[in-house]
Chain A
Amino acid sequence: AQKITQTQPGMFVQEKEAVTLDCTYDTSDQSYGLFWYKQPSSGEMIFLIYQGSYDEQNATEGRYSLNFQKARKSANLVISASQLGDSAMYFCAMREGGFTGGGNKLTFGTGTQLKVEL
């Protein structure tokens, strides 16, 4: 089974509108972390936001927020007030287990290509 599932290969949004990118995950661990990264066409992965499995509140970072629904195992990224520069590939990723001995392998989804239009 896929550990990280992103079901939207591509999304379009109008400038200044909000957009939600979906991510569901599968793990049997109680302790895990969820990350969202942005990858422009240049290739560099840019960290956006983090949500820990024990965090009771949804994470927010500027225009980015993470809609964390633990029972549904979903961690959707919400981008408010979209800008042309938000056009990029977006990846959801998970680190399973606690941070023991330095282990921090990330498992990525297949990504969602977001296009912001005027």
Chain B
Amino acid sequence: DAGVTQSPTHLIKTRGQQVTLRCSPISGHKSVSWYQQVLGQGPQFIFQYYEKEERGRGNFPDRFSARQFPNYSSELNVNALLLGDSALYLCASSFRQGAIDTQYFGPGTRLTVL
């Protein structure tokens, strides 16, 4: 089975620009979460979507937004890019089995803001 896929793999933008990152979950997974991982740190939670509704939002400014489509794929948008937005953006999908809800991550999109 295909894992979580993300596109693009790498992206270079300049300050002030806008960026859209894409994620396709594992087939059958209805929940998608986004994380930002700055170099040398653990991932930080940005958003979670479940059945196309936002179910959680981390401590990120309104420049960050996301949505989930009917096929459960998701987009993360970041407006007015800052140098500090340079990071690895990870998407994870999950499917609840009983009390276990394991998140499976994609390869990430590495964003560089110049």
**Which A residues fall within an 8 A CB radius of B?**
4, 33, 35, 37, 42-47, 50, 52, 54, 91, 93, 95, 98-99, 101-111
Can you list 22 A-B pairs with a CB-CB distance of less than 8 A? A33-B101, A35-B102, A43-B90, A43-B110, A44-B106, A47-B102, A47-B104, A47-B105, A50-B102, A52-B100, A91-B42, A98-B99, A99-B96, A102-B30, A103-B55, A104-B56, A104-B101, A104-B103, A105-B56, A108-B43, A110-B42, A111-B42
- Which chain B residue has the least Cβ–Cβ distance from A95? B101
Shortest distance between the CB of B83 and any CB in chain A (Å): 20
Which B23-62 residues sit within 8 Å CB-CB of chain A? 30-31, 33, 35, 41-45, 48, 50-51, 53, 55-56, 58
Query: In the complex the two chains form, is A106's CB within 8 Å of B45's CB?
Result: yes
B residues engaging A (CB < 8 A)?
Answer: 30-31, 33, 35, 41-45, 48, 50-51, 53, 55-56, 58, 88, 90, 92, 94, 96, 99-108, 110
Contact residues of A: prevailing secondary structure:
loop
Q: Are B58 and A105 in contact (CB under 8 A)?
A: yes
- The tally of CB-CB contacts under 8 A between chains A and B is 78
Q: Flag if A43 contacts B102 (CB, 8 Å).
A: no
Bound complex: CA A98 to CA B31 (Å): 16
**A37 nearest CB neighbor, chain B only:** B105
Candidates B45, B100, B104; contact of A107 at CB < 8 Å: B45
- Whether the pair B105, A44 counts as a contact (CB closer than 8 A) is yes
Q: How far is the CA of A107 from the CA of B104 in the complex (A)?
A: 15
Q: Which of B30, B42, B96 has the most CB of A within 10 A?
A: B42
A51 to chain B, nearest CB (A): 10
Further contacts, 16 of them, CB under 8 A, given A44-B107, A108-B44: A33-B101, A37-B105, A43-B88, A43-B90, A43-B107, A44-B105, A52-B99, A54-B99, A99-B101, A102-B51, A103-B56, A105-B48, A105-B56, A106-B35, A111-B41, A111-B42
